[in-house]
Amino acid sequence: MAKSRRSEYDAAQKRRSIAIASASTIFVVLALIILVPMTPGWEKVQKSFFNTAVLYKSFPKLMEAFKVNVMIFAWSAPAIAVLGLLVALARSVHSPALFPLKVFSAIFTDVFRGVPVILTVYLIGFGIPGLGLPRPWNSPYIWGSVALVLTYSAYVAEIFRSGIESVHKSQRAAALSLGLTEQQAMRDVVLPQAVRNVMPSQMNMLIALQKDVSLLSFIGPVEIFRQAGVFKSLLANFTPYVGAALIFLAITVPATRYADYLMARQNRERQ
């Protein structure tokens, strides 16, 4: 008797909240659809930002340029993961003999998290080639990517470090007391737990990286942001940027969902 009274009540509550949510959503959407075009400048804004003719015209070349973004991301992301992990491990050493390593790692993360990325891109992207490297070693692709990798490794390292520190020290104690060496304890016991703990944060970094690849546009490579800018100047229209945004979303949203799916599946398998 009590069970069905409760479930009836719950069902009614659910119906009510769905109704409220739907109604308010419809109201907001209708308001946007009706009110926004009524604003005086809408037509001009639409022509300038949401111009389908310009979108069609610029889309193919934007897709071409996006390949550059994908390429730079593809070789930077693994480098960042590796370097970030190394720097985090360097920061976590216990042996007093390795203290200089700890200091170096701290300085590294401080500097590269502190300096604005664009500045690093300029300094390294133009500065190091300016020292006199021959082509192709002075390519902006190489040094721009180096700048990205150094910067992002610093953030990724700090996230890994917090992950490592979040693993209770009794885990390390248990590992050592079984006779494992420090390295084995880190590799087999602490690190797997640390990495699992910080995976969501690292996913965030990955998504931020996908967008920051565009910073390389400042030092030459014609990636999607630069290409959109070329169109903007040529056609005096901002729609190419909207096009670029759509292409970004088309990649980042599925990527995020896929990452979420992997995490959920991992958690489910463990039950």
Partner 1 sequence: MMYKLQLNNVVKTFGENIICDRINISARSGELVCLIGASGAGKSTLLRCINLLETIDDGEIILDGQDIAEPGLDPQPIRAKVGIVFQSFNLFPHMDAISNVMLAPRRVHKKTRAQLLEEITGLFERFGLKDQMYKYPDQLSGGQQQRVAIVRALAMKPEVMLLDEITSALDPQLVGEVLEVLFTLKDEGMTILMATHEMNFAKKAADKICFLKNGQVLEEGTPDWIFGPDAKQETKSFLSSF
Partner 2 sequence: MKFVTSISTLTAVLIASVANADSHCADGKTLNDGKLTIATGNPAYYPWVMDDSPESGQGFEAAVAYAVANAMGFENDDVVWVRSSFDEAIQPGPKNFDMNMQQYSITAERDEVVDFSDPYYTAPMAVLVSPGATDTNPTMESLKGLKWGAVGSTTAVAKLQNVIKPEQELLLYGDNADVNAAMSANQIDAALFDLPTALFLSAVMIEGSKVIGQFAADESDNPDNFGMLMEDGNPLKPCVDEALAELKGNGALAAIEATWLQDTTGVPLIK
Interface residue list for partner 1 (CB under 8 A) = 170-171, 173-181, 184, 188-189, 192-193, 196, 270-271
d(CA 214, CA 212): 5
Whole-number Å distance between alpha carbons of 223 and 83:
25
Task: Name which of 61 and 196 has its Cβ closer to partner 1.
Answer: 196
Query: Would you say 139 or 197 has its CB closer to partner 2?
Result: 139
Interface residue with partner 2 among 101, 180, 235, 255 (CB under 8 A) is 235
Task: Go through 167-192 and write b for each residue having 16 or more CB atoms within 10 A of its CB, e for each that does not.
Answer: beeeebeebeeeebeeeebbeebbbe
CB of 11 to partner 1, least distance (A): 33
Which distant-in-sequence residues (6+ apart) come within 8 Å of 27 by Cβ? none
Cα 263 to Cα 206: distance, rounded to the nearest angstrom = 15
Residue 176 CA to residue 79 CA, distance in Å, equals: 30
With CB under 8 A as the contact rule, the residue among 237, 239, 240, 242 that binds partner 2 is 237
* Cβ proximity to partner 1, 17 vs 181, nearer residue: 181
The helix (run of H) or strand (run of E) holding residue 131 is none
CA–CA–CA angle 176, 87, 77 (5° rounding): 120
Burial 251-271 (b: 16+ CB within 10 A, else e): eeeeeeeebeeeeeeeeeeee
Segment 47-76, which members bind partner 2 (CB under 8 A)?
A: 47-49
Nearer to partner 2, 59 or 122 (CB): 122
Site pattern 110..149 for partner 2 (x: CB under 8 A): ------------x---xx-xx-xxxx--xxx---------
* Partner from partner 1, partner 2, none binding residue 130, C-beta < 5-8 Å depending on class: partner 2
Binding mask 195-234 for partner 2 (x = CB under 8 A): ----------------------xxxxxx---x--xx-xxx
Look at residue 114 and give the partner it binds from partner 1, partner 2, none, a contact being a CB closer than 5 to 8 Å depending on partner kind.
none
| Residue 207 or 220 having the CB closest to partner 2 | 220
What is the Cβ-side half-sphere exposure of residue 186, based on CA atoms within 13 angstroms? Answer: 17
Give me the sign of the Cα torsion angle 176, 179, 184, 189. negative
Of 109 and 214, nearer to partner 2 (C-beta) is 214
Q: Which residues bind partner 2 (CB under 8 A)?
A: 41, 44-45, 47-49, 122, 126-127, 129-130, 132-135, 138-140, 217-222, 226, 229-230, 232-238
